[in-house]
């Protein structure tokens, strides 16, 4: 019964069962260096996270995190191959070795971290499940949504969270499952569904591309914890460490006041031991990660610190208009906190 339950959960997550061969992938860091390019799995197209611009250049928080990792590895943020993946495709692509790291608005959960042959690294964004409806529907809370048709993407935590939320409230809904979130957005605008259920940041990203964004409202209620983090294969602790400390380094840099604009100056003039270690100007930490002394300096020059990354891609002055909230530094009441880099 327990085995059957686990298999069911794997199937619901859109992941193939039978992971033995994927666990023999080998040393990812060496393989990526030999190849000369990082293969990074991203969403097929969500504004603010990973979306090609008019020139075909991938833009957004997830895309820039991929570039940051490439900068840490090669000193060159352009040495990355973006692999667009749907929710159903993403884990299989990582398990099979098609990609080296998955940075695709993926919620860190117990089952995913322990049962799929993968490791969730560390949160780079804290989100929560919500619903978006037409403004003229006069919906204020989920209790006004009884009987509504809700568009969802299969293979995501949002499918389960929506069912749990309606069940808890004693309400009924009609799910419409479509793999691409963009198809759900079109269905909502065309009136083929009454609501979309997914993480609030994705709802804001979708709405930012609507023809009439003010005609739609994202409800205030949140029904889950959805921490996004990079995902790697379980078989390679060395690679896990590299990805984790790139994320930590972005947060540490913001706390220390190191930015893309002042990193070069601070590397040569700062007497702060923490800044000097971060930028590789003193006895540094690069040997522990098998990276160059300038690894984090190169990351910051390429994509900035965490605050710069957030504000540039999804912050209040972008079409998504998202305040920092939980994604602010711990010193300002948020949840962003780096382990000591020493």
What confidence tens digit (pLDDT) does each residue in 266-275 have?
A: 999 999 999 9
Same domain, 314 and 232: no
Same domain, 232 and 108: yes
What does the pLDDT look like over 212-261, one tens digit per residue? 999 999 999 999 999 999 999 998 999 999 999 999 999 999 999 999 99
* 224, 253, 285 - which closes a domain: 224
Q: From 111, 321, 112, select the one nearest 200 (Cα to Cα).
A: 321
55/1 Cα distance (integer angstroms): 52
Helix (H) or strand (E) holding 54: none
CA 141 vs CA 202, 219, 222, 323: distances in Å: 19, 7, 10, 21
Q: What is the pLDDT of residue 150?
A: 97
227/263 Cα distance (integer angstroms): 29
Residue 4, pLDDT above cutoff 70: no
* 195, 224, 253 - which closes a domain: 224
Residue 17: pLDDT band by 50, 70, 90 thresholds? very low
Helix (H) or strand (E) holding 198: strand 195-199
Among 16-30, 295-309, 319-333, the minimum mean pLDDT is found in: 16-30
Same domain, 10 and 67: yes
Same domain, 36 and 80: yes
Q: What is the pLDDT of residue 155?
A: 78
> What's the domain count of the chain?
3
Q: What is the pLDDT of residue 180?
A: 85
Residue 18, pLDDT above cutoff 90: no
pTM: 0.86
List the alpha helices (DSSP H) in the chain.
2-12, 28-35, 61-74, 90-96, 110-115, 157-169, 181-190, 200-208, 237-256, 263-269, 273-279, 286-289, 295-303, 306-313
341 occurs within a structural domain: no
166/129 Cα distance (integer angstroms): 13
Q: State phi, psi for 195 to the nearest 5 degrees.
A: -155, 160
136 occurs within a structural domain: yes
169/198 Cα distance (integer angstroms): 18
Q: State phi, psi for 248 to the nearest 5 degrees.
A: -60, -40
Same domain, 117 and 136: no
252 occurs within a structural domain: yes
Same domain, 140 and 206: yes
Residue 21, pLDDT above cutoff 60: no
Same domain, 115 and 232: yes
Contact 229, 124 (CB under 8 A): yes
Residue 179, pLDDT above cutoff 50: yes
Q: What is the pLDDT of residue 26?
A: 47
Q: What is the pLDDT of residue 7?
A: 42
Q: Which residue range(s) make up the domain with 218? A: 129-224
Q: What is the pLDDT of residue 16?
A: 43
The overall average pLDDT reported for the chain is 91
Contact 214, 3 (CB under 8 A): no
What does the pLDDT look like over 54-113, one tens digit per residue? 999 999 999 999 999 999 999 999 999 999 999 889 999 999 999 999 999 999 999 999
Residue 14: pLDDT band by 50, 70, 90 thresholds? very low
Greatest Cα-to-Cα distance within the chain, rounded to the nearest angstrom: 63
Strand order in the sheet with 195-199: 173-177, 148-152, 195-199, 129-134, 216-218
Q: What is the pLDDT of residue 283?
A: 66
Same domain, 251 and 197: no
Q: Higher pLDDT residue, 207 or 181?
A: 207
Average pLDDT over residues 193-217: 94
Q: What is the pLDDT of residue 20?
A: 38
68 is written with which tokens? Answer: 């940051």
Q: Residues 236, 237, 240, 242: is their CA dihedral positive or negative? A: negative
């Amino acid at each position: 019964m327990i085995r059957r339950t686990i298999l069911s959960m794997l199937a619901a997550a859109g992941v193939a069962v039978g992971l033995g061969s994927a666990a023999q992938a080998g040393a990812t860091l060496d393989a990526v260096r030999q190849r000369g390019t990082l293969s990074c799995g991203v969403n097929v197209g969500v504004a603010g996270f990973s979306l090609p611009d008019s020139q075909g250049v991938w833009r957004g928080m997830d895309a820039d995190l991929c570039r940051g990792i490439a900068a840490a590895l090669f000193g060159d943020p352009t040495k990355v191959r973006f692999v667009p993946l749907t929710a159903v495709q993403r884990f299989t692509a990582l398990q099979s070795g098609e990609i080296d790291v998955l940075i695709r608005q993926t919620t860190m959960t117990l089952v995913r971290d322990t049962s799929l042959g993968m490791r969730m690294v560390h949160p780079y964004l804290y989100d929560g499940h919500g619903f978006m409806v037409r403004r003229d529907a006069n919906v204020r809370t989920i209790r006004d949504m009884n009987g509504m048709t809700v568009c969802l993407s299969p293979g995501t935590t949002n499918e389960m969270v929506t069912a749990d939320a309606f069940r808890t409230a004693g309400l009924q809904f009609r799910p419409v499952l479509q793999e691409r979130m963009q198809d759900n957005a079109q269905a909502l605008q065309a009136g083929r569904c009454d609501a979309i259920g997914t993480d609030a940041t994705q709802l804001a990203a979708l709405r930012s591309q609507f023809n009439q964004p003010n005609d739609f409202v994202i409800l205030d209620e949140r029904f889950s914890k959805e921490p996004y983090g990079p995902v790697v294969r379980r078989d390679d602790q060395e690679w896990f460490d590299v990805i984790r400390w790139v994320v930590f380094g972005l947060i540490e840099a913001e706390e220390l006041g190191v930015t893309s604009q002042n990193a070069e100056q601070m590397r040569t003039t700062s007497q702060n031991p923490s800044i000097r270690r971060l930028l590789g100007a003193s006895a540094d930490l690069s040997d522990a990660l098998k990276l160059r002394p300038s690894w984090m300096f190169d990351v910051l020059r390429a994509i900035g610190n965490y605050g710069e990354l957030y504000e540039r891609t999804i912050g209040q002055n972008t079409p998504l208009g998202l305040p920092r909230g939980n994604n602010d530094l711990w010193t300002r009441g948020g949840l962003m906190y780096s382990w000591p880099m020493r």
